[in-house]
Amino acid sequence: MCPAIILLSALLLQSPDEADFLLTNIADARIRTSDNSSAQLSSWYSRKPIIMTLVYSRCPGVCNPYLLQIRDHVLLQAAPVERFQMLVLSFDTEDSPAQLRKLAGFNDSSPPPPNWTFGVLEKENSADLLSSIGFQTQPVNGTYDHNTVMVLVGQDGRIHQWIEGLPDNRQWDRLFRELTNDFVPVYSTLNRNVWTSCFQYDPASGYWKVNWGLLMILAPSALTVCIIMILQAIATSGRRKRNLLILIPNNHEYIE
């Protein structure tokens, strides 16, 4: 019983995978961007791709350092601001956009770039949005336990990149390539769920590993050799019988 429970919990607690979200539609939630204005999420992504992340300002843990690191990386990369919008949302309805701005280290003397927006999810459809991007949250003593997720949403409203935790250099590189429509050579997540892939490729090391699919390329040739051998065996036995018939022409009953 006990191992079964452990196994079950391990399965239930398994963290989501990028492949579960790639090219899926994001829920079109309503966002409050100031005390008296709000808009649908689609009003952003329909104009330009968005990089979106979720935090909350009262977070005693990861939100502040996470957001600061993301800010630094986006600003340092000098990503083309006209190509995308940066959306920092709070899932805590008690938050305000101004608090989020402060959490990201911006103030009046160092304002955020023009493509940055801070907003708070309206309560009624926030759950849809959170589940559509695999954001998990649970209230604990007035605060929240949560994971950290950053998504790149295309103008079609679909998730083009899903990153849990802080992106590594490879993920940042891919994200900016996506934004600038540069060629993305490898989606590392693809092979994990496709058992028929010919090769596993680790883009970080550039190392190839042979996978099951290659066997399927070889299968037709191997199968042909087997079939020819079987036909040869059947034909040889038939030929022996015929030779026997020639040697003992009057003994047909015996042969049969």
Partner 1 sequence: MNTSYKKSTLLWLITTLIVFLVAIAFGLTMRMEQAEMVKIGPLNFYVLMTSHGLLMAGVWFVAGMAGIEYILSTYFPVPRWGGMIAYVCTITGVVILLISTFLTKFHAGWYFLYPLPFYAKVMESGPLLFLVALTILGVGWLIWSLVLIFTILRNFTVAQALAWHHISGRPGPTVAPFILISFVSLIGVTACILAAVVLLVLYYLEFLKSGSMSNDPLLMKNLTFFFGHTLVNEMLYLGLAVLYELFPRMAGKPAYKTSWYVGLSWNATLLIVLFAYFHHLYMDFAQPVAFQFVGQIMSWFAPLPAACVTIFSVLTTVYRSNMKWSLASLLYFFGVMFWAIGGVGAILDAVIANNFVLHNTQWVPAHFHTYNLLGNVFFSLAFTSWFADEIGNKKIAPGLVKLIFSLLVTGGVGFVLAFYLGGAFSVPRRVDTYNDVVNKGVSLAQMAVVFASLYLVGMVIYTFDFTKRCARQLFS
> Is residue 189 a contact point for partner 1 (CB under 8 A)?
no
CB of 232 vs partner 1, minimal distance in Å? 5
Site string for partner 1, 232-251 (x = CB under 8 A): x-xxx-xx------------
Range 145-164, binding partner 1 (CB under 8 A): none
> Is residue 204 a contact point for partner 1 (CB under 8 A)?
no
**Maximum alpha-carbon separation in the chain:** 113
d(CA 146, CA 129): 15
**Residue of 39, 231, 248, 255 that binds partner 1 (CB under 8 A):** 231
Which one of 81-89, 103-111, 140-148, 209-217 is the stretch in contact with partner 1 (CB under 8 A)?
209-217
CB of 199 vs partner 1, minimal distance in Å? 7
- # binding residues, partner 1 (CB under 8 A): 29
Would you state the structure tokens that stand for residue 1, as one six-digit string? 């019983």
Which one of 62-70, 79-87, 154-162, 194-202 is the stretch in contact with partner 1 (CB under 8 A)?
194-202
> Is residue 23 a contact point for partner 1 (CB under 8 A)?
no
Would you state the structure tokens that stand for residue 91, as one six-digit string? 């899932």
> Is residue 216 a contact point for partner 1 (CB under 8 A)?
yes
CB of 55 vs partner 1, minimal distance in Å? 33
Instruction: Name the β-bridge partners of 144.
Output: 139
Would you state the structure tokens that stand for residue 231, as one six-digit string? 């036909």
Site string for partner 1, 59-98 (x = CB under 8 A): ----------------------------------------
Closer to partner 1 at the Cβ: 166 or 198? 198
d(CA 41, CA 153): 10
d(CA 100, CA 119): 8
**CA dist list (Å): 184 to 51, 148, 152, 161:** 17, 24, 14, 12
Would you state the structure tokens that stand for residue 59, as one six-digit string? 């977070």
Would you state the structure tokens that stand for residue 158, as one six-digit string? 């679909």
Would you state the structure tokens that stand for residue 200, as one six-digit string? 């596993």
**Residue of 7, 39, 228, 244 that binds partner 1 (CB under 8 A):** 228
CB of 244 vs partner 1, minimal distance in Å? 15
CB of 116 vs partner 1, minimal distance in Å? 35
Which residue ranges make up the site for partner 1 (CB under 8 A)? 185-186, 191, 193-194, 196-199, 201, 208, 213, 216-217, 219-221, 223-224, 227-229, 231-232, 234-236, 238-239
